[in-house]
Structure formats: C-alpha cells, structure tokens
Structure 1
Amino acid sequence: MVGLLEKMLPLTEEEKDILEYRRVMKARYTSKQQFIIEANKFLAPGTEIMIRKHTRFIDFPPHRHDYIEMNYVYNGSLKQTIGDRAVELQKGELVVLNQHIEHEIEACGTEDIIINFIIQPSFFNYIFSFLNVEGPFYSFLIDSIHGSEPLGQFLYFKCAKEASVQQLLRKMVEEMMEPDAYSQASIKLYVGMLMIELAKKANTLDGKQKLSLHNQWIRQTFAYIDEQYKHASLYELAKRLNQPHYLLSKVIKKQTGKTFKALLQERRLDIAKELLVQSDLPVSVIAQEIGYDNFSYFYQIFKKHFHTTPLVYRKKHASSPPQ
C-alpha cells in the first residue's frame, strides 16, 4: 500500500515548470506589481481554506500574502527568512505567518515535503469565541485580522512531539491527498480544532516573537457578539464590562478598525449564510432569527455585503458539496 509520503513525492505541474524554466513564474501567484501572493489564485470563490504542497527545487524570493499562511513540515526541513530572522523548521513543526510579514524560502529538496495552508482572514471570526483563554495565539490573530496597524508577525510552533496537533495535521493531509465531497467541510473543522490545540500548546512556541495587542475587552466583545448576536448592543456590553459605552466604542474602533455595529453585522451575516445553506427557513424568518425585524434592511445589507440576494445565494450554494 502506497503511503502518504510516497504519494507526495511525484512532481506537480508547477514543479515541472520550475525545473524547465529555472525561475518562479510570478504571474502564477500574483497580478500585483509587488510580490503579494493572492488567495484568489488558489481558492475557489466562496472557499476560505485550502491546503497544498509547497513547490520544491527553487528559492522563493521575498514576498507577502493577502491571507494567513501556515507552513507545516510533513517530511524533511524548511529554511526561510521571516522578516529579519532566519528560521529552520524541522519535521513536525509549523509556522503561522500573518498577511503583513515578508518572508523568503530556500529551495526544498525532493524529500522536503512542506504543506502550505492558505486561510482567508474571515475564517478566524468563526473561531474567536472559542479561543477564550488569553494568550499569544489569540493576540496574534486579533492583531492580524482586526489590528488597526499592519504589524508583520509570525508564530513558530515546535510541536513535533505534540500528538494531538500531529493527528489533526495528518488528517488534513489525508483529506488533501484523497479528497471527496466532504473534504472541504472536514478541513474547516480540523483547522478550527487545530487553532484551539495550538492556543493550548503555548509552551511549544518559540519564545522570541513579540506580540503587541492583548486586550481583554476585545476578546470579551467577540465572545459577547457570538453568544448574543440577536439582541446584542454596545450599551449592554458596556454594562457587562462596567465601562462607559463611549470609551468602549473608541477602544473597539482603535483595536479592530471597525465599529461595534460593523462587527455585529458581520457576525449576523455569517450566521445568515449558514442558515440559508443548511436550513429551509424562509428568508424573512432568517432575518428575524439573526436580529433584523426589518426585512428590507436585512435584504439591503446582505446584497451589499455579498453582492447577491439571499435567495440567489441559497440557490447557488445549497446544491453544491459542503464547503
């Protein structure tokens, strides 16, 4: 029986081009003048996560991404310079990079099998409420997704001996190599579980990362919105935190770049999407379920946010395999 490693050793079409032309085809990764790798070059519309094998045999020049990236060493090792720091990952280790940091990668050999995770920042809004223990991983995500300043950051997890982390990573690699109609849904669940495991495994973090934002009010804001999205209000949250509502409003805006109302609206619309695809509830009922008594207003903001109507969104996604 052929093992996973053997299945990943053959050349991809991308690697065949690399070996033929001996250079990185920039247009394959970005349409921008700067080398910013774009998620839409890999992700299908409406998809938030993809995992793929990193291209071997050539140095990747300095670049950034417009998404959150994880590099996981399935076999061999990976040498790269992240910001101004040289990092060499060994088998079983992983690094998480936000979309603001530049890195360059040394060429990998034939048996250096690196798995790249491409994750849209919007995915992390789904799991913020689960990361309810303060720590560096939560702060890293808040900085990356909702920070008002573009801070380049990364986290290096020396987690090769952490069985729970390795088991989840292996399951995702299996889904990548042997996909079926449920693989995308499975991978999303596994990534969410992995984020929680990494948050718990702060002891495996390389201790040299410096994280700036660690704000308990922001954590509590996301938890409150996730739990009380139907009736949530800034005034009620301020009362819970025993803070003036105007001060809390300023802190939320400064730290996330968004108002409380915008954060609440994003969460409500995310839930509306799930209900449209996963239930047969009338759109008017869904609007009420997420806190909008005015159906016309719900219809207007849904169309503005997703560039389509609720009914068209339902028809488009309800018949598709789970995402």
Structure 2
Amino acid sequence: MPNTPKTQEFFRLFDVMTKEELYYLEHPVNSSLSSGNISFSWYDLQQRAEAEHGCSMRHNRSLLVIRHLRYVPNQTYSHAFFELLYVQRGECVCTFAHKKETLRAGELCILPPLQKHHIYPVGDSIALSIFIHPSMLTDSFFTFLHLPDMLLHFFTASTREARQQYFVFRSRIPDNSPLPFQVLSLYLEIHKSDSLSDTMLSSMLISLLITLVRSEELLIHSLRENSETDKILSLFQNNYDTITLSELAAKLHYTVPYCSRYLKKNFGSTFSELLRRTRFQRAEELLTGSHMTVCQISDELGYENPESFIRIFKKKYQMTPAQYRVQTSENSADPL
C-alpha cells in the first residue's frame, strides 16, 4: 500500500511524547552517549513493549515492535534475537561491532543476534526496532524458505559464526512505497491478541523483507570479528551451564578482580547477573520450543537442582516454569 496521507496520519501516533521524553526535552543531556550496558531477555523486551503499547502482550508473542525514546540517554544493549531498525523520520545513529551506521528516513538495518549496540535517534527523529524471536523462524520455517538465499542463510544459520553479516537498506522512499505502511502494520498488529496474530505477523514480516529485496537496495556488510565484548557474550552463550567467573577470567587472560571490573564497566552488570540473563533467555527458548521437562531444562541450564531453577524463575516471571509453558501453550491454542 502506498505511503498515503492516511498512513502519514497513523505515524503521527509517535508524535505523542512520554513523560521521560518530555523531561529530557526540558533538561537536555547528550543522549548520543551510552549510559550503561544491558543484556535483554525476551521477557525484558516484552515488558518494554507492553509499556510502549499500553496493553498486555500474548505470552508467546514471537515478534515485538518498540519505538526508541527521543532525547533520553540511551543504554548500549545486546540480546539473542534478530533486530530490524527502521527510521520513519529524521535520522538515527546505530553503533555496533566498532562500526557506525547513520540511517535516515526510510532506511533500515538488520542486525544478527548477540551484537552489542547503541541506538541514538537524533533530535525529534522516530526510530522503531522489530525484534524476532527464534520461535518465529522455527514455526514459520516453510514461509521463510521463500526468502532469497542471502536472507534465508542469515536467518536460519545455526551458529553465530555463520551470522557475521548485517544488512543495510538505503533508498529514498517513493510515495508509492509500501515499506512505511508495512512497518506501521506490524506495530499495530502487536495490539491483537487472537490466535492468528503470530501467523499474521510472520506473513507481514516476510512481505516487508521481500519489499526490501525487490528494491535492490539491500546491502550486505561484514562484521568485524573477535572484539572483546563479542567474545565475552559468546562465552556466556556457549557455556552458560558450566562457566564460572574464574574460568571466564582465565579464558580472557584476566585476573578475577579485573574481569569483574571489566564486566561491570562494559556491560553494566556483574558476572552473576549476566549469567542469569543468559540462562533466562535459554530457558524461554526451551520452554516454548522443546518438549524437555522442567528438570531436564534445569540440568541443561546448569542449576544444582530443579528447585533452585524454579525459585529463581518464579522471582523473575511471577510464575513457575511449568505455569509459563502452560500459559504460552494455551495462548497458542486459543480457538478461532
């Protein structure tokens, strides 16, 4: 659908500022500077989406769309999901893997999982991120098969090493381009709670990706490998069941005290906090995408016993792992 005045009117929804944006508009700081580093689980992103959209999300939602706040000091963050950053108005600076991409209105960047990055909307710019949970790629595998080879390999590669690419879409958006409407439609579909919503989101995402490929403006770039922070994230992701602070320090050739300080300075978290977030991300994946028992998942994550896992999980999610699985299963099986 073309970028009609009606579509432009819809996008004015984003002109309403949050209390946080209004505060920093009146008390400006240099929001281009990072104010810390955080690792998000899917649950964390869902909480942000609920605050953004003002409604409760389906527990098994596999795609989220979140607007980046203007004027607010931004955190550097990372997560285990694919992210599409789209600029609807103005320009946005995205810094990651020692690279910097400045995106202008109508441009888009596709980032692989595990990339620490900092996003800075310039001034009154509007930038949105689309986060894709691995379950969407699994549940909609045959739909994703229709993607061109370069994107199919990017989204379905099973190892981090195979995802050492990112994509940038740069093009002046013509008046008849469907791209702004497709992004807006994804944003609005997030509000739906019926059992077909995830299927609709998957189809809409594929449609958006095809629009990008058809434009012939989707550029492939390589990531610089082996930065220290990327190496640390990889060690957590690949050894979350057994790794200790001493082992991490040894692998990095650090002393234990220096390793602790490095994690706090560069990730804004302690070793225990980073390990817990990594385990939470993996627990979500196993509870929603496998038939493993809670005991098996507890063992897979490296907990001493299931009781410890259940207690820590319940403190984070306000429900037990079994209740979480049942709830997401019931949501996916809602009657038409």
Range class of TM-score, shorter chain:
0.5 to 0.7
Matched with 1:6 is 12
| Counterpart AA for 2:222 | Q
Matched with 2:139 is 126
Quote the Cα distance in structure 2 between the aligned partners of 1:174 and 1:17: 27
Paired residues of 1:140 and 1:211 also in contact (CA < 8 A): no
Paired residues of 1:65 and 1:99 also in contact (CA < 8 A): yes
What's the secondary structure of 2:221's corresponding residue? coil
Spell out the pairing of 1:1-323 with structure 2 (5 A cutoff).
3-16=9-22, 18=24, 35-43=38-46, 44=57, 45-110=59-124, 112-132=125-145, 135-143=149-157, 146-147=158-159, 149=161, 153-159=165-171, 160-161=173-174, 163-175=177-189, 179-182=191-194, 184-185=197-198, 186-198=200-212, 200-201=213-214, 203-209=216-222, 308=322, 312=326, 316-317=330-331
1:303/1:49 CA distance change after superposition, 3 Å: farther
CA RMSD of aligned residues (A): 4.4
Shift, 1:303, TM fit: 9.9
Shift, 1:154, TM fit: 2.0
Shift, 1:107, TM fit: 4.3
Paired residues of 1:58 and 1:107 also in contact (CA < 8 A): no
| Counterpart AA for 1:116 | S
What's the secondary structure of 1:208's corresponding residue? strand
1:152/1:208 CA distance change after superposition, 3 Å: closer
Shift, 1:9, TM fit: 0.7
What's the secondary structure of 1:86's corresponding residue? strand
Paired residues of 1:38 and 1:65 also in contact (CA < 8 A): yes
| Counterpart AA for 1:83 | A
Paired residues of 2:154 and 2:162 also in contact (CA < 8 A): no
Quote the Cα distance in structure 2 between the aligned partners of 1:58 and 1:106: 9
Shift, 1:36, TM fit: 1.5
1:97/1:125 CA distance change after superposition, 3 Å: same
Shift, 1:48, TM fit: 1.3
Kindly, what percent of the aligned residue pairs are identical?
17
For residues 125-154 of structure 1, give each alpha carbon's deviation from its aligned partner in whole angstroms, at most 9, with x where no partner exists: 2333334465321222134xx215485542
Quote the Cα distance in structure 2 between the aligned partners of 1:148 and 1:116: 21
What's the secondary structure of 2:219's corresponding residue? coil
Quote the Cα distance in structure 1 between the aligned partners of 2:223 and 2:328: 43
Please list every run of 5 or more consecutive structure 2 residues that lacks an aligned counterpart in the other structure. Answer: 1-5, 31-35, 47-56, 226-284, 298-319
1:304/1:12 CA distance change after superposition, 3 Å: farther
Which 10-residue stretch deviates more, 182-191 or 132-141? Answer: 182-191
For residues 6-50 of structure 1, give each alpha carbon's deviation from its aligned partner in whole angstroms, at most 9, with x where no partner exists: 2211112443465588689xxxxxxxx952133212324322111
1:301/1:37 CA distance change after superposition, 3 Å: closer
What's the secondary structure of 1:58's corresponding residue? coil
Quote the Cα distance in structure 1 between the aligned partners of 2:296 and 2:210: 32
Matched with 2:268 is none
Quote the Cα distance in structure 1 between the aligned partners of 2:154 and 2:73: 27
Paired residues of 1:101 and 1:152 also in contact (CA < 8 A): no
1:84/1:163 CA distance change after superposition, 3 Å: same
Quote the Cα distance in structure 2 between the aligned partners of 1:66 and 1:315: 22
Paired residues of 2:167 and 2:221 also in contact (CA < 8 A): no
Paired residues of 1:139 and 1:211 also in contact (CA < 8 A): no
For residues 152-177 of structure 1, give each alpha carbon's deviation from its aligned partner in whole angstroms, at most 9, with x where no partner exists: 5421122535834444223224446x
Q: Highest Rg: 1 or 2?
A: 1
For residues 236-272 of structure 1, give each alpha carbon's deviation from its aligned partner in whole angstroms, at most 9, with x where no partner exists: xxxxxxxxxxxxxxxxxxxxxxxxxxxxxx9xx96x9
TM-score by length of 1: 0.55
